[in-house]
Amino acid sequence: MEPLRIAVAGLGRMGRRHVQNIIHRVPRASVVAVCSTDLHELEQARSSPEYAEFGVTVYDSYDAMLAHPGLQAVWISTSTDVHASQTLAAIAAGLHVLCEKPLSTNMDEIDKVVEAAKANPHLKVMAGFSRRFDASYRDAAAKVLDQNTIGEPFIVRSNTCDLLDQTGFFVRYAPRNGGIFVDCAIHDIDLSLWYLSDPVPKACWATGTLRHHPELAAAGDVDNAVGVVEFHGGKIAYFYCSRTQAHGHDVCTEVTGTEGKVSVNVWPRANHVVVADGSGIRNEVQPEYWQRFEDAFALEANEFAEAVLRDGPVPLPIEKGVRVMEIGRALQDALRTGEVQRFDEGGKRL
């Protein structure tokens, strides 16, 4: 069987890592092309001995990359504002697509992509919610949803807390990200829908504060926020997102049910090492999502490649992202306005 010929759009921190992951951990796929519009990223890519060794062609235009001979699939890892248009272009070019979260911060754009995907059922169009591929989150899902370990699950608490970025990188990118609940809590919202079996939102409220990044005020955003979602049927999810943690990338989830609780990563650890010294007993914490989720990204890439090569269903169809984004937007609106945002019984915003 020939490996899947895949192109990666975007060579930022994430895009570069996906290229590495596909080369090193996805034997059934080959990265045949990459693209970027950033001169520094292009320079790096063109001078990479590894890209040369593994036959990766570097493009400075997304459209040019789509025309790469024999290309079968695209992994979109650019900034959020072009996710939807690039996904549509890939579909139009007859290519399979895996698009990073979030698909868009604009609900109309999201609808268009979902329609295009439906109109092209022969193409695999997948949403990139990487935590769904993490071994621990999957084990939690098996316990909660299959093994009935905790009775009926009804509350999810989930955090995405990033290490404080002192390089300025985060602040530069922030204006395009749609706000803290859309950019940062999106995985947590997705997890709550997963573990609570796709409940329908009823109301939500949020509040936040600015502690380290005053530049975010201009966009009405915050660097720390708490939000609560009430679902129809008596289920609840609540989230804490932060851009300003001192100790590392701290991402945890707790699912409470009628008979118990399952949690993931409530005590984050970089590895198995513990140090005891004059300051007590301590472990280090992974600095970024990548150290925590590298394996998940590899599995995601393998499952996408398998789905395409064997013409099976993708693990996360693109429409899975729609409700996630509706809730993220509502939380962001609640944060901005201070008002409760409500949904009808069908989950439609009121």
CB 136 within 8 A of CB 191: no
Single out the residue of 247, 312, 344, 348 in contact with a copy of itself (rule: CB under 8 A): 247
DSSP 216: G
Does residue 214 bind a copy of itself (CB under 8 A)? no
Does residue 272 bind a copy of itself (CB under 8 A)? yes
Q: Which is nearer to a copy of itself, 92 or 266 (CB)?
A: 266
Does residue 217 bind a copy of itself (CB under 8 A)? no
Single out the residue of 282, 312, 344, 348 in contact with a copy of itself (rule: CB under 8 A): 282
Q: Which is nearer to a copy of itself, 79 or 147 (CB)?
A: 147
CB of 289 to a copy of itself, least distance (A): 14
Amino acid at 141: A
User: Among 99-107, 124-132, 134-142, 311-319, which window interacts with a copy of itself (CB under 8 A)?
Assistant: 134-142
Query: Maximum distance among all alpha carbons in the chain?
Result: 64
CB 100 within 8 A of CB 278: no
CA angle centred on 345, ends 341 and 350, rounded to 5°: 35
Indicate left, alpha or beta for 113 from its phi (over 0: left) and psi (-120 to 50: alpha). alpha
Does residue 157 bind a copy of itself (CB under 8 A)? yes
User: Among 95-103, 121-129, 178-186, 274-282, which window interacts with a copy of itself (CB under 8 A)?
Assistant: 274-282
Does residue 285 bind a copy of itself (CB under 8 A)? yes
Nearest alpha-carbon partner for 62 in 41, 82, 47: 82
Hey, which residues does 155 pair with through a beta bridge? 236, 256
Compute the distance between CA of residue 130 and CA of residue 294 in angstroms, rounded to an integer. 9
Site for a copy of itself in 43-72 (CB under 8 A): 53-54
Single out the residue of 108, 277, 311, 345 in contact with a copy of itself (rule: CB under 8 A): 277
The pair phi, psi for residue 157, each rounded to 5°, is -110, 130
Q: Which is nearer to a copy of itself, 63 or 139 (CB)?
A: 139
